[in-house]
Amino acid sequence: MEAFAAGGRLQRCREAWLGSVSGVRRALLAGEGHGRFLPAAAAAWPNAEFTVVDASAAMLERARRRWDATARPARVAGIVGELPRWQAAAGAFDLIVTHFFLDCFPPGEIGAVIAALAAGATPKARWLVSEFAVPARPRFARWRARAILALAYGFFRVATGLRARQLPDYAPELARHGFVRRDRQSFEWGLLHAEWWERGCADDPARV
């Protein structure tokens, strides 16, 4: 997908809110994969500790190598864990990050995955989500997104055994756990978006 979506655009999504979200102390990066977000996050939040959880030991190792290449001091814990079985320690994290991760889950599983992550969030936690989307319009963008996603899901089904067939509707699940969407940026004619969710900010006029 990195190649499909012209490389840097996925990273633009991942980094969209780095300059806006401040005061991060303990961040949980779920399904971090190759680890492209971690060095950027560590630079943006120099006092934060990071916990990276991924079901794949090989991906975690790639993330570790990428991190080691930055020669930054160690404040990263890597955990091989499969959500939703893996459960975060209750209320341990003031930031949850799921970049291109929630799309791995079929509709029947997304609620349990979000519940497992939300259990680890503090009462005022932030949650950054990068995801693919099918825009409502224009029609050309809608068709384009559908075609790209059908190809991508087909490819990953064969290559990795991915069980998901379509993008899950994660927003109601985040809302169920008290998160409110504060802001959203769209890229690539609506194919990609970066969202900033937050708990305990129900009266914030900036929320969408």
Ligand X SMILES: C[S@@+](CC[C@H](N)C(=O)[O-])C[C@H]1O[C@@H](n2cnc3c(N)ncnc32)[C@H](O)[C@@H]1O
Residues that bind ligand X (CB under 6 A): 14, 31-33, 54-56, 59, 82-83, 99-101, 104
Q: Quick one: 8 or 138, whose CB is closer to ligand X? A: 8
Q: Quick one: 70 or 204, whose CB is closer to ligand X? A: 70
Q: What are phi and psi of 183, to 5 degrees?
A: -165, 165
Q: Quick one: 180 or 195, whose CB is closer to ligand X? A: 195
How far, CA to CA in Å, does 140 sit from each of 143, 146, 193? 5, 10, 17
Contact criterion met (CB below 8 Å) for 193 and 185 = yes
The minimum distance between CB 47 and ligand X, in angstroms, equals: 23
Q: Quick one: 15 or 94, whose CB is closer to ligand X? A: 15
The minimum distance between CB 44 and ligand X, in angstroms, equals: 16
- 112 sits in the region (left: phi over 0; alpha: psi -120 to 50; else beta) called alpha
Q: Which residue is nearest to ligand X (CB)?
A: 33
> Which of 178, 177, 191, 22 lies closest to 110 in space, CA to CA?
177
The minimum distance between CB 194 and ligand X, in angstroms, equals: 11
The minimum distance between CB 204 and ligand X, in angstroms, equals: 27
The minimum distance between CB 168 and ligand X, in angstroms, equals: 12
Contact criterion met (CB below 8 Å) for 154 and 148 = no
Q: Quick one: 79 or 175, whose CB is closer to ligand X? A: 79
Q: Quick one: 83 or 149, whose CB is closer to ligand X? A: 83
The minimum distance between CB 30 and ligand X, in angstroms, equals: 6
> Which of 175, 194, 192, 174 lies closest to 184 in space, CA to CA?
194
How many helices (H) does the chain have, and how many strands (E)? 6, 7
Cα–Cα dist 30/82, whole Å: 10
- Which strand (E) or helix (H) includes residue 107? helix 107-118
